[in-house]
Amino acid sequence: MIPNIYYDQDRPLNRIENNVMYKMPVNRNFCRSYNILSCIIILFVMMGLLSCKRKTVNVKVKVPVTVDVIIAEKLNFPSSIEVNGVTLSEEMIELHPEISGRLTYLNVPDGATVKEGTILAKINDADLQAQLEQQKVQLDLANKTENRLKELLAINGVNQSDYDVALSQVNTINANIKVLNAQIDKTVIRAAFNGKLGLRLVSLGAYVTPQTLIGTLEQSDKIKIDFTVPSSYENLVSVGNTVFVQTNESDEKQIAVISAIEPQINVSTRNITVRARLKSGTISPGAFVKVLLNKKEAGFAVPSNALIPDASSNQVIVIKNMKAVFKNVETGIRAADVVELLSGVNQGDTIVVSGVLFVRPNSLVKIRKIRTQVIENTLDSNRAVK
């Protein structure tokens, strides 16, 4: 029997050589170190096996992401946007004199209503009136001379050239009288249309120039509304369309009808200028208003949180065979909580609307709930997904 060096450490080891048995001493420290090293190696091997087993389990098990979805379907909803506008009077002018001079007459009561043609102010025209009288006296003498030469010409008493000079003098004086009458008309300021005066800014006797503002005249019984629309929404505006107008002071929506559209797009802002006329209600000229454009059409819509913005395009997550597929989409009109999809999705697609941040491409998903898409048909087109 061969001695066991692990358990018979106190016994010597016998070696037989040439039928002679030799006793060999045993190194006890070497045996003890060998036992400890063997135990450490076995321990590391077992720990490695356990670690590999755990990693294998983690790789094999993939937990699906739980999400809520909606089914893509075309719905009739009002495509609307809110833009800013400003109200204007149907007609509005500033009252300026055409020539310089001293005011000799002033009829501009604050806030008064006047009729077309009413004289509002007059500038001193004494010098012009004197020149006019002078020309009238010269015209009377020129007419007598022309008539006398005309009678002499008929009996060949004067040359034709002498008569032509007299006739030219009459025509020249008549032209001078017309010039003076035009200058006198410029000294009078009249109301160009029926309207309401603003505040008077000058007093009687003041010296005024064409740059002096005397007051304003507005025709405020009809209100115009000017607003701008991005060129991408050009299909929402056309002459005759109805828009809704709302002021900051009231929630009441008033109706206006588009009367004209600027034919050229602004090259700096890429906006279109539109003009509408208020059909009902009253708004003070110069007020800031919100204009709501509405047009019903069928299309796809998703909640804003379902849209993934990207550097080049926007994306939504569509579920196919219980796996997530990221699809590029083209967006249209945006509301507070809903975005219109113009392309990228088809009828019946399953679109993820919750848990979007946790879904990865081609990852497994688990549908928790299919939400019902409800679009509220309100005047300002607030669309929501419930």
Tens digit of pLDDT for each residue in 247-295? 888 888 889 999 999 999 999 989 999 999 998 778 888 899 999 887 6
Report yes or no: 313 and 328 within 8 Å, Cβ to Cβ.
yes
Q: What would the two tokens of residue 131 be?
A: 């020149």
Question: What sections of the chain are H helices per DSSP?
Answer: 28-60, 126-154, 160-186
User: pLDDT tier at 103 (50, 70, 90 boundaries)?
Assistant: very high
Report the relative pairing of strands 215-230 and 75-95 from DSSP bridges: antiparallel
Q: Mean pLDDT throughout 154-173? A: 91
Candidates 290, 306, 373, 307; CA nearest to 76 is: 373
Q: What are phi and psi of 42, to 5 degrees?
A: -65, -40
68, containing H or E segment: strand 65-71
Res 386 pLDDT > 60: no
Query: Of the ranges 3-12, 169-178, 228-237, which one carries the lowest mean pLDDT score?
Result: 3-12
Q: What would the two tokens of residue 271 be?
A: 């906006």
Report yes or no: 185 and 125 within 8 Å, Cβ to Cβ.
no
Q: What would the two tokens of residue 246 be?
A: 């709302």
* Residue 369 bridge partners (DSSP): 68
Amino acid 86: pLDDT? 93
Distances from the Cα of 252 to the Cα of 52, 196, 246, 249, angstroms = 71, 27, 6, 9
Q: What are phi and psi of 331, to 5 degrees?
A: -95, 155
Res 167 pLDDT > 90: yes
Contacts 24+ apart (CB under 8 A), 126-134: 128/180, 128/183, 128/184, 128/187, 129/184, 131/180, 132/177, 132/180, 132/181, 132/184
Residues 6+ apart with CB under 8 A from 342: 299, 329, 330, 331, 332
User: pLDDT tier at 1 (50, 70, 90 boundaries)?
Assistant: very low
User: pLDDT tier at 334 (50, 70, 90 boundaries)?
Assistant: confident
User: What is the spatial distance between Cα 329 and Cα 43, in angstroms, rounded to a whole number?
Assistant: 57
pLDDT digits (tens, 9 = 90+) for 46-66: 776 666 555 444 444 578 888
Query: Of the ranges 148-157, 306-315, 346-355, 374-383, which one carries the lowest mean pLDDT score?
Result: 374-383
Measured CA angle at 212 (ends 211, 217), to 5 deg: 110
Q: What would the two tokens of residue 155 be?
A: 């009996």
Sheet with 119-123, edge to edge strand ranges = 188-190, 119-123, 101-106, 207-208
Report yes or no: 355 and 65 within 8 Å, Cβ to Cβ.
yes
Amino acid 157: pLDDT? 84
Question: What sections of 93-224 are H helices per DSSP?
Answer: 126-154, 160-186
Report yes or no: 192 and 116 within 8 Å, Cβ to Cβ.
yes
Report yes or no: 329 and 345 within 8 Å, Cβ to Cβ.
yes
CA atoms within 13 A on the CB side of 11: 11
Burial track 147-184 (b if 16+ CB lie within 10 A, e otherwise): eebeeebeeeebeeeebeebeebbeebeebbeebeebb
User: What is the spatial distance between Cα 51 and Cα 130, in angstroms, rounded to a whole number?
Assistant: 119
Name the DSSP class of 278.
Answer: E
Dihedral angle sign, alpha carbons of residues 229, 232, 237, 242: negative
Amino acid 126: pLDDT? 94
